[in-house]
């Protein structure tokens, strides 16, 4: 891996992926995105990992797609490169992914953070979709996910002007989970990931899938989907363990079976 660093056990059962093109503010070129897709797939298949933290560095989570790589492309080049199949694959990750964001999260960088399940930000984080300033528009979910998170008025302003919002504003509007001082954002993400890693991996997976389904369907269909996943948790040993531990007043040990 040239442009990302993967630590399988950054904390017990919690993996860390760090975007690693610091000089280019972690601009997301095709190779980096391919490496990220492969790393997520491997960690998703790894039984020793229950949650994943994705981060950049203090200055930038990612300043967007690599403009230099895209600059000379035609529409047909873009169609043939089909970079969004990589994003579709990333979206299929079943384990929870927590973005730990500091500095710039712009364009594809903001979209990548929003593709994760939760976002912990440092107080220096800035979120934005500045594509409009270079004559294009968001292409990896920005117009959809930002609108669902912030509402139409705020999202429209950000997408049409390219203005950034601060971590504090992002928190106020529900785009992110919380803002912490810059020296704590990664630790806070690990704390959240560790809390989730101690729970039933089966239930976590099914619950993540159910919350995500609410983005994609109407209420009745979503409630039906949730109910099926709820029933499915009763096929797990973790359900027996979790409920018995409650009754026996002890701490449960979840195995993911």
Chain positions contacting ligand CO8, by CB under 6 A: 24-25, 27-28, 33, 63-68, 83, 104, 106-108, 130-131, 134, 138-140
| Secondary structure tally for the chain: helices H, strands E | 12, 10
Tell me the closest approach of the beta carbon of residue 217 to ligand CO8, in angstroms: 25
- Residue of 35, 111, 171, 188 marked active site: 111
Other Cβ atoms within 10 Å of 226 Cβ, number: 17
CA distance 67 to 191: 34
Based on the residue annotation, tell me whether 195 is a catalytic residue of this protein: no
Tell me the closest approach of the beta carbon of residue 148 to ligand CO8, in angstroms: 17
Based on the residue annotation, tell me whether 108 is a catalytic residue of this protein: yes
CA distance 94 to 246: 27
Contacts of residue 26, defined as CB under 8 A and 6 or more positions apart, other chains included, come to 19, 20, 32, 56, 57, 60, 61, 62, 63, 109
Question: Inter-axis angle of helices 84-91 and 108-115, to 10 degrees?
Answer: 20
Tell me the closest approach of the beta carbon of residue 118 to ligand CO8, in angstroms: 21
Based on the residue annotation, tell me whether 42 is a catalytic residue of this protein: no
Select 107 or 201, whichever has its Cβ closest to ligand CO8: 107
Select 104 or 254, whichever has its Cβ closest to ligand CO8: 104
Tell me the closest approach of the beta carbon of residue 72 to ligand CO8, in angstroms: 13
Based on the residue annotation, tell me whether 65 is a catalytic residue of this protein: yes
- Residue of 108, 109, 141, 142 marked active site: 108
Residue closest to ligand CO8 (Cβ) = 107
Closest by Cα among 52, 5, 53, 8 to 26: 5
Tell me the catalytic residues: 65, 108, 111, 131
């Amino acid at each position: 891996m040239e442009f990302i660093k993967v630590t399988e056990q950054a904390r017990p059962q919690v993996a860390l992926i760090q975007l690693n093109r610091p000089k280019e503010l972690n601009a997301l070129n095709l190779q980096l995105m391919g490496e990220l897709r492969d790393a997520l797939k491997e960690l998703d298949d790894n039984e020793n990992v229950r949650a994943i933290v994705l981060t950049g560095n203090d200055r930038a989570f990612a300043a967007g797609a690599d403009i230099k790589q895209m600059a000379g492309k035609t529409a047909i080049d873009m169609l043939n490169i089909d970079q969004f199949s990589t994003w579709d694959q990333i979206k299929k990750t079943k384990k929870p992914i927590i973005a730990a964001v500091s500095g710039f999260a712009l364009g594809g960088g903001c979209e990548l953070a929003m593709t994760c399940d939760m976002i912990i930000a440092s107080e220096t984080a800035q979120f934005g979709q500045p594509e409009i300033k270079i004559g294009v528009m968001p292409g990896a979910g920005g117009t959809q996910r930002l609108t669902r998170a912030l509402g139409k008025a705020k999202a429209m302003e950000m997408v049409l002007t390219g203005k950034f919002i601060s971590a504090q504003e992002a928190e106020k509007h529900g785009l992110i989970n919380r803002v912490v001082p810059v020296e704590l954002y990664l630790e806070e993400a690990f704390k959240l990931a560790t809390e989730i890693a101690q729970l039933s991996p089966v239930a976590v997976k099914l619950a993540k899938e159910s919350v995500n389904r609410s983005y994609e369907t109407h209420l009745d269909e979503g409630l039906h989907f949730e109910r099926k996943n709820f029933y499915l948790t009763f096929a797990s040993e973790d359900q027996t363990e979790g409920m018995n531990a409650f009754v026996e007043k002890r701490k449960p040990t979840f195995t993911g079976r």
